[in-house]
Structure formats: structure tokens, C-alpha cells
Amino acid sequence: MAAYLLRRLWQMIPTLIGVVLLVFVLFKYFGGDPAEILGGLNATKEQIEAIRQQLGLDQPWWYQLWIFVKSIATFDWGKSWATNEAVSNLFATRLPATLTVMLPILVLDVILALPIAMWVAYRRGSLTDRSIMVVTTVALSISFLVYVIVGQYVFGFLLGWFPVQGWSDSTLKNLVTYAPLPVLLAVAVGIAPQTRLYRSFLLDELGQDYVRTARAKGMTEGTVLFKHVLRNAMIPILTNIGLALPGIFVGSFLIEVFFSIPGLGREVLLAVNRSDYPVIQAVTVYLAALTMVINLLTDVMYKVADPRVVLK
């Protein structure tokens, strides 16, 4: 296991280097001139040149690349061009709000979708199975924006159960008061595709020979499902969960905008609209690194879920 982890970590280095080079090239040669963006339309040539010197843009490309790599290694990206706030402080203050909303969504998606998928897979072809598949198909056909508009109107304005917008400094209050409505709506959207996907994984395993053998030995359906089928189906399920984890940040864009949640997703969207390069670069590089780490952890979880898996 240790040798595998070291080898995978070593293999991540060239991938991360490629990401860093790609981000550097895209922002340097295909983005706008940062000095002109910061200076504005009324800036003189002297002012733009002074900004270029301040940012180090008058230096050779290799020196600018070194500054970029140094920023990644030291977590010091300077200050946001739009708000003049340190990018590191921006991450520290916005990330908790994003996790407060998105982690419950991820957990509830798995906790709710997996039992439902096991139930309908066991009752394949029944009226229950067909009904749930129709409901999930309809749910997949509706835009998330519709869920947000209807949810805010019904639960916020008509029933008054939840506030439509707002946030506080208390994590507990946010979880109890402000997070339930966006979490409820996001789970209503996400549970449909997860249920269909997990159902297909379980049906693949239910058709295997070992299931018929287990039943022939007199095992109960509960034992077959939980001890054999679920264990073998956990490999693709873990893969799907691993792919969904980076989406915690990507998927938070719409939720944080519509519910005025001061999270990282909304900050990234504002940074894109403002051409705030330091924030965009930092999020891009760290999200790529996080994705690689999650993929590694997912591979390790394969071994935990099924000891027969050999990590090479």
C-alpha cells in the first residue's frame, strides 16, 4: 500500500506541472492585459506601465512563471484585484459557507439514493420500480432553476418555512435556518440521477452467477443484497462519489448566487465577471490538485470496500 501511494503521488507531479503550465499560458497569452484591466479605460500609458512593473509583467516569461509557481507553493496569491482582499483570506472566509451547504447535499444524495436504488433494483419490473423510474425521469427533465423558483415561492413566500436568502456567522444557525432550503432543492435534483445510476450498478450485480449461487444456498434476500451485491457494487458507486466531490465547488455556483450565500462558488463567479485573475488562477490550480487527491483516495477506498482489489 505504501509503495502504491508513493508511486501515485509521484505520478501526480507531472500532471500538476501540466495544469500549472496550461493555466499560466492561457492567462498570459489568451487573457486580457492585467495592467489594462486594473488601470481601466481612463488610465494613461504611464499608469499602465507602472501597474505592469508592480505586477512583474515587464519581466521575462520565465520569471513570471517562477512568480506563479511560488504563489502556488506559498499559498500567497496577493490580493484580489476587485476587492483588494487577500486571496488566502478569501479562501479561508468563503470556503466554510460552501462546505456548510454542499457537504450535506453530497451526504444526503448518497444516503437517500442508495437505499432507494437497492429497493427498486430488488423489485425490478414491478409497479414500484416503474413508478420511481418515471418520477426520476421527470425530475431529470426539469431545470434546477425551476426548482429554485418554485421552492423559494412555495417554501419561502407561501408557507414561510425557510428564509429565501440570508447568512450568519454561526455555523449551527446556518445549518438550521438558511441551509435547509437550498439543500432540500439540490437533493431533490440530485437524487434522481443518482438513484438511476446506482440502480443500474446493482442490477448488473444481481444478474451475476454468484447471486444465484447464494440464493441456492438458502441465503435470505437481505443477506444477498447487503453482504454480496452491495459490496461488489460499491466499486462503481465509490467512483461516482469521487467524481462528485470536486463538483461540490462547481455545483455551488448557482445555489450561492440564488440564495445569496457568501461562499467560494459565488466569489469565483464574481471573479470571472470582474476578470479577477488571482482568484480565478488560485481556484483553478487548487481544484485540479484537489481532484487528483480525491482520485487517489477513491482508489484506496476500493481496497477498503473490496479486499480482493489489488492496487498496482
> What does the pLDDT read at residue 36?
66
DSSP labels for 264-288? HHHHHHHHHHHT-HHHHHHHHHHHH
Domains and CATH numbers, the chain: 2-74 (no CATH), 87-305 (1.10.3720.10)
- The pLDDT tens digits of the residues spanning 121-174 come to 777 777 877 888 888 888 878 777 888 888 888 888 888 888 888 788 887 888
Question: What's the whole-number mean pLDDT along residues 71-87?
Answer: 76
Q: Which residue has the cell 434476500?
A: 221
pTM of structure: 0.74
Question: What's the whole-number mean pLDDT along residues 290-294?
Answer: 82
Which range among 47-56, 116-125, 196-205, 286-295 shows the weakest confidence by mean pLDDT? 47-56
> What does the pLDDT read at residue 94?
81
- The pLDDT tens digits of the residues spanning 178-199 come to 888 888 888 888 788 888 888 8
